[in-house]
Amino acid sequence: MSERADSTQPAQPKESWVARWTTLEDIERTLIDKPSSGLEAWARTTAGVVVMLLALQFVTGLLLGFYYVPSTESAHTTVSYIEKVVPAGSWIRSLHHHGSQWLTLALVLHLAQMFWRATYRRRPVGWMASVILLGLIFAAGATGYSLPWDARAFFGTRVTEGIAGGLPLVGNAARSWLLGGSQISPLTLARFFALHALIIPAIILTVLAARLFVFRERALVSAAEERRLEKWMHRQVVRNAIAAGVVFIALALYSWKSFAPLGPPADTAAPGYLPRPGGQFLWLFQMLKYLPGRAASLIAVALPSLILFGLAILPFLKKPLNRVMVHPRRNIGAALFSLAFLLVISLTIIAYVDDSSNPLTRAQLRRQEAEETAFRNSPFIPLRARTSESVSIEPQGTNNPNSNDGAKTPDGSPSPSPQVGVSPIASTNNTGAPPESYIKHCSACHGTRGQGAPMMPKLLGVASKPRRTVEDIIGLLNDPLAYGIEPPMKSYADKLTEAEKREMAEWVAGLK
Ligand code: HEC
């Protein structure tokens, strides 16, 4: 700027209002890099595509936020409402769903393109911001997957929970922090929602703000050079806009044709449900199949973190490693990229082949798909109708006199909380009184009628979960760990007779 005042060129355009009133030119100046032309200039439009897709995630996410309620009671109903009732709701949700996968891909291409041009040398901040962004986009995808609370979401959450719980040392802490307690509960969904819709977007915006407003990665140049760069930059902005526009149209059409998945609510999932994660996580999911128990968790977390961390610190690797290697950054970067590429592409392909080559898996997946299609084509059922036919029992110790007047709230407001339901007696399931041995051994934790206790899981509807048939429950009582059930629930193998176990399991499986 100061140089401009000194120059006496008459052709100098007078300061535009953009320069006078906005910081746009400063931002442009932080973004200008060495000009390139032809194919390279077009390759660089991944930047514009990433910005467009990111903005689209924010906009569609906010729109979904107008309807979505993050509670285990309402989440699925509100997402169905978006899908079935809200005009263009299905399309907006599709854009958000597919957009997250396209964004992951665009960011990877962006990084590959920057690596190819050795951008990490000149622009370490821009490079690191992109790597961090990729990590955050993965985190957003993983937490977002739970939010619709259908079978897919529920089992996705189970997988995440399992990975967190299996981590060495921090496993239990990580698991209970993630779940908000000892098991998946209403708190879990609230927590995933807070991460997905508040914390991760806030960090993304912070990273972007730092990238645009805090760091400058270019030396000051002469006024003539500055004008040449600006001219190039303006052409480059047009190229970016074209690329982003084309990708947007493609995504919009794709989302119009192909729906974001939504199945029946989580609690109606039949036993044997096969969880499948979103496309960007398929490779990780496949890898978990090969790894035994705890190693799986460790590798599932450590490997992606190491790759991302290695890429993020690439700009700083030159000095410390110069003695050991000729081109440390180029070699390590290339190794990380090829490792990630090989891992992701091959495992993703294997995951698809695996699913389609096993007839049992294929049949189950087709059944799940058919269920989702049937659910999609069925009319929307409001929450009140859904809950009044399957009322849950009052939590222990709430002696609310108003709890006996049916599905209406005390003041008759139209949104009854499912907890304010029919009295415990009236809503009792078809099973009779609990067996004595249940009262003696189990009710302290699971409640006299399976309704649960603070911090302890309820057993209502437990039979609709996978691996919870009568036989399974007997097996679970003998060896809880084999069924993924952890302390404080302990083995009852030799505390109960076989007859008691069976009677108890039959009663528990009948709890609705
Ligand atoms: C000390 C408290 C405690 C006692 C006593 C107890 N449980 Fe549990 N139970 C738990 C906890 C906690 C879990 C969840 C553990 C997990 O998910 O890792 C659980 C899980 C279960 C599950 C699986 C629930 C699901 O959602 O899949 C069943 C079934 C079950 N218990 C049945 C029983 C029966 C039957 C008895 C009596 C013989 C009993 N429990 C006694 C604490 C207890």
Whether 362 and 505 map to the same domain: the answer is no
Closest residue by CA, ligand 1 atom 5: 442
> Can you give the pLDDT at residue 413?
37
Closest residue by CA, ligand 1 atom 26: 462
Provide the number of structural domains found in the chain.
2
Q: Is residue 293 part of a domain?
A: yes
Q: What angle do CA 109, 112, 117 make, to 5 degrees?
A: 125
- Would residue 497 be called left, alpha or beta, if left means φ above 0 and alpha means ψ between -120 and 50 degrees? beta
Ligand 1, pocket-test mutation among 445, 481, 483, 511, most atoms within 8 A of CB: 445
Question: Where is pLDDT greater, at 477 or 166?
Answer: 477
Torsion, CA 201, CA 207, CA 211, CA 215, rounded to 10: 150
Q: What is the CATH number of the domain that holds 179?
A: 1.20.810.10
Whether 361 and 480 map to the same domain: the answer is no
Whether 190 and 319 map to the same domain: the answer is yes
Whether 352 and 454 map to the same domain: the answer is no
Pair 511, 443: CB distance under 8 Å: no
Whether 187 and 273 map to the same domain: the answer is yes
* Whether the predicted model's global pTM rises above the 0.85 cut: no
Of 350, 370, 390, the residue that ends a domain is 370
Q: Is residue 377 part of a domain?
A: no
Q: How far is the CA of 74 from the centre of ligand 1 (A)?
A: 26
Q: What is the CATH number of the domain that holds 479?
A: 1.10.760.10
Say how far apart CA 39 and CA 310 lie, in whole Å.
Answer: 28
Q: Is residue 422 part of a domain?
A: no
Whether 442 and 306 map to the same domain: the answer is no
pLDDT > 70 fraction of the chain, expressed in percent and rounded? 87
Which residues 6+ apart lie within 8 Å of 102 measured at CB?
A: 53, 247, 251
Helix (H, G, I), strand (E, B) or coil at 47: helix
Q: Is residue 397 part of a domain?
A: no
Whether 35 and 139 map to the same domain: the answer is yes
Instruction: Give the mean model confidence (pLDDT) for residues 146-174.
Output: 85
Closest residue by CA, ligand 1 atom 37: 442
Ligand 1, pocket-test mutation among 161, 443, 446, most atoms within 8 A of CB: 446
**Residue 332 vs residues 196, 320, 350: alpha-carbon distances, Å:** 32, 13, 27
Query: What does pLDDT average to over the chain?
Result: 82
Residue 299 in tokens: 């590798």
417-467 pLDDT, tens digit each: 333 333 333 334 456 788 888 888 888 888 888 888 777 888 888 887 767
Ligand 1, pocket-test mutation among 158, 175, 460, 485, most atoms within 8 A of CB: 485
Of 331, 353, 370, the residue that ends a domain is 370
Say how far apart CA 22 and CA 486 lie, in whole Å.
Answer: 58
Q: Is residue 313 part of a domain?
A: yes
Q: Which residues does ligand 1 sit against, CB inside 6 Å?
A: 182-183, 441-442, 444-446, 456-457, 459, 462, 465, 468, 473, 476-477, 485-486, 488-489, 492, 504, 508
Whether 91 and 231 map to the same domain: the answer is yes
pLDDT band of 252, cuts 50, 70, 90: very high
pLDDT at 4 over 60: no
- Terminal Cα-to-Cα distance of the chain (whole angstroms): 73
Q: Is residue 64 part of a domain?
A: yes
Whether 445 and 338 map to the same domain: the answer is no
Instruction: Give the mean model confidence (pLDDT) for residues 289-309.
Output: 84
CB-based burial of residue 485 (10 Å sphere; 0-12 exposed, 13-18 middle, 19+ buried)?
A: middle
Whether 67 and 168 map to the same domain: the answer is yes
Say how far apart CA 258 and CA 375 lie, in whole Å.
Answer: 16
Whether 133 and 212 map to the same domain: the answer is yes
Of 316, 348, 370, the residue that ends a domain is 370
Closest residue by CA, ligand 1 atom 40: 442
The DSSP secondary structure of 296-340, one letter per residue, reads HHHHHHHHHHHHHHHHHTGGG-HHHHTTT-SSHHHHHHHHHHHHH
Buried b / exposed e over 129-159, threshold 16 CB at 10 Å, is: bbbbbbbbbbbbbbbbbbbbbbbbbbbbbbb
Closest residue by CA, ligand 1 atom 41: 442
Whether 143 and 280 map to the same domain: the answer is yes
362-405 pLDDT, tens digit each: 888 888 888 888 888 888 888 765 555 444 444 444 344 443 33
> Can you give the pLDDT at residue 163?
84
Q: Is residue 86 part of a domain?
A: yes
Residue 134 belongs to domain spanning: 19-370
Q: Is residue 375 part of a domain?
A: no
* Least confident span in 43-47, 199-203, 282-286, 426-430: 426-430
485-507 pLDDT, tens digit each: 777 888 898 889 888 999 999 88
Q: How far is the CA of 381 from the centre of ligand 1 (A)?
A: 32
